Chains A and B, each alone.
Chain A
């Protein structure tokens, strides 16, 4: 894919938001209790709103008739630039809330950095969405503590979720060429991110993993098997009935 680095970076931000938004939406109607069903669906909606803002901008940058819809619905798996963390299956409630906590904490730090980005549109979207991300961090961090300090079963599930997801967190801080060329240094965010996770885990009586192995690839289009299935569902209608509106 021969695209300009800023366009690719904006697509990466959009894809992260869309894929996690879609994943979280799988809980709609299946949440553990009504209030939390509504909470996770709201977060899903915020993420899809974020994705739209970034796709609209990416479409303008790309030109050639691209639209927010063509970018979301008509690109193939290898063209998606989202990190592996967001495409992992929703798992149980511990997996979903822990992933949200990992991701929202990362987004919070990243968007704080982007507030002073030289591209005004990126900075403006970061400013707008940061207010929502702050809610996501707050909600998900409280769930991690509640599960960690809850029952033996909830604690076990949280520990399992940490085991399952930790290896996908390193990719968040592994720079790609398009981030570097867009003037963004994600590696700088790592120590602050780990500090926030550590202090939350302490409160949740959970172990901070020491494993440093990281699976990477999603940000450059090499995805896990889960993304294809999700795109099949997400894109089905536009692929089968091109241009369909209702």
Chain B
């Protein structure tokens, strides 16, 4: 059983978030549990934001990948409590975000007016452009030094 659970996690670790494809769903911390019961694989996932439109697609991807690996009986459950937080994002995930050009969440602040480190040049001389970015989980900033506009993954 333990081996099956590990094998399932191995498969899940290859599934990318549809909106931020550099992150896997494990990096994001939205996989809450994997359980194997009587040949059935039960994967519990949680949404980042309640309206996240990627959830249905993520559930479909999990089903497809597990089916391709030979797991014929799969159940996806959704949990809402405890509520997802950016604290569940892996450190590796935060590094990948930064390389991708998105400033990773920072525990020190939610949506600061300025001071978020620019993922391009590293400067803290940046400003908030909009509290809502291209997806629910991000806010839009601009670097005053290199002028690069960038997304900041809101601490949630």
Residues of A bordering B, CB below 8 Å: 35-36, 38-39, 42-43, 45-50, 52-53, 120, 123-125, 127-129, 131-132, 135, 138-139
Contact = CB atoms under 8 A, between A and B. Distances in A.
Contact of A125 (B80, B82, B129, B154): B80
Nearest to A142: B131
Contact of B130 (A39, A50, A131, A138): A39
Interface string B22-56: 00000000000000000000000001011111000
Given A125-B80, A127-B81, A128-B80, A49 B130 contact: no
B131 A47 contact: no
Contact of B50 (A38, A46, A135, A138): A46
B80 A45 contact: no
A48 B53 CA distance: 10
B81 A139 contact: no
Contacts of B53: 45
A132 B49 contact: yes
Contacts of A120: 81
Given A35-B140, A131-B83, A50 B134 contact: no
B130 A48 contact: no
Contacts of B131: 39, 135, 138-139
Interface in B133-156: 133-134, 136, 140, 154, 156
A38 B151 CA distance: 13
Interface residues of B, number: 22
B85 to A, nearest CB: 8
A52 B50 contact: yes
- Chain A, interface SS category: helix
Contact of B136 (A36, A45, A52, A139): A45
B132 interface: yes
Given A35-B140, A49-B51, A128-B83, 12 more contacts: A35-B130, A38-B130, A38-B133, A38-B140, A43-B132, A46-B51, A49-B49, A52-B51, A124-B81, A127-B81, A132-B50, A132-B136
A45 B53 CA distance: 9
Nearest to B52: A49
B74 to A, nearest CB: 20
A187 to B, nearest CB: 27
Interface in B80-94: 80-84
- Chain B, interface SS category: loop
Contacts of A124: 80-81, 83
Contacts of A45: 49, 51, 53, 136
The 8 closest A-B pairs by CB, nearest first: A49-B51, A49-B50, A35-B130, A124-B81, A39-B132, A45-B51, A42-B132, A128-B83
A42 B82 CA distance: 23
Contacts of B80: 53, 124-125, 127-128
B49 A38 contact: no
A53 B131 CA distance: 24
A36 B50 contact: no
Contact of B81 (A43, A48, A52, A128): A128
Given A36-B130, A53-B50, A127 B83 contact: yes
B134 A47 contact: no
Contacts of A48: 51
A30 to B, nearest CB: 16
A43 to B, nearest CB: 7
B2 to A, nearest CB: 30
Question: Which of the listed residues B52, B81, B134 has the most CB atoms from chain A within 10 Å of its own CB?
Answer: B81
